[in-house]
Structure 1
Amino acid sequence: MAIIVSPLPGIFYRKPGPGKPPFANEGDTIVIGQTVGIVEIMKQFTEIQSDVAGVLQSFEVDDGAMVNPGDAIIVIHEG
């Protein structure tokens, strides 16, 4: 099991924009380098990419929630 953490403070979003589909959903197969969300701070958006391959098990924060550096965002079951 791998945990993807926020690299910076801001607001976590599961989608690239309003009305757009999420980058990934629970149960999706994730590949290394795949964007799984974004963190926005002061109108600057940082893509959160997976550094492991596996199945997205769960989101640890809600869409639109505040995150801090090191906060767990996503759990991926490697394999």
Structure 2
Amino acid sequence: MTTQQIHAPFPGVFYRQPSPDDPVYVDEGQQVNAGDVIGLIEVMKQFVELKAEMTGTVTGFSAENESVLEAGDVIATLEVSE
């Protein structure tokens, strides 16, 4: 097993859920497939889906909900099998 980090592709505000009353997209320890949405990044009132690029298990989030990110900041870590 190896780890893969998911980085912010551009600066913005990170959201773990689609709206405040909805559940988070992904919980720590949850299996995700490549292309699964793990969160949203808002930039200038536009929301862009952040998707997993690989299949694996989310081992942790480095970014809190509603945190301001810079391009390249680590958002989450996946454990992937090679």
Matched with 2:7 is 5
Task: Give the AA of the match of 1:15.
Answer: Q
The offset of 1:42, in angstroms, is 1.5
Structure 1 position 23 matched with structure 2 position 16: no
Q: Which runs of 5+ in 2 are unaligned?
A: none
| In structure 2, C-alpha distance between the alignment counterparts of 1:43 and 1:20, rounded to whole Å | 19
- Percent identity, aligned pairs only? 32
Q: Report the TM-score when normalising by structure 1.
A: 0.97
| Backbone CA RMSD of aligned residues | 0.6
Which segments of structure 1 move beyond 6 Å, counting only runs of 4 or more? none
Q: Report the TM-score when normalising by structure 2.
A: 0.93
Q: Secondary structure at the match of 1:19?
A: coil
Matched with 1:65 is 67
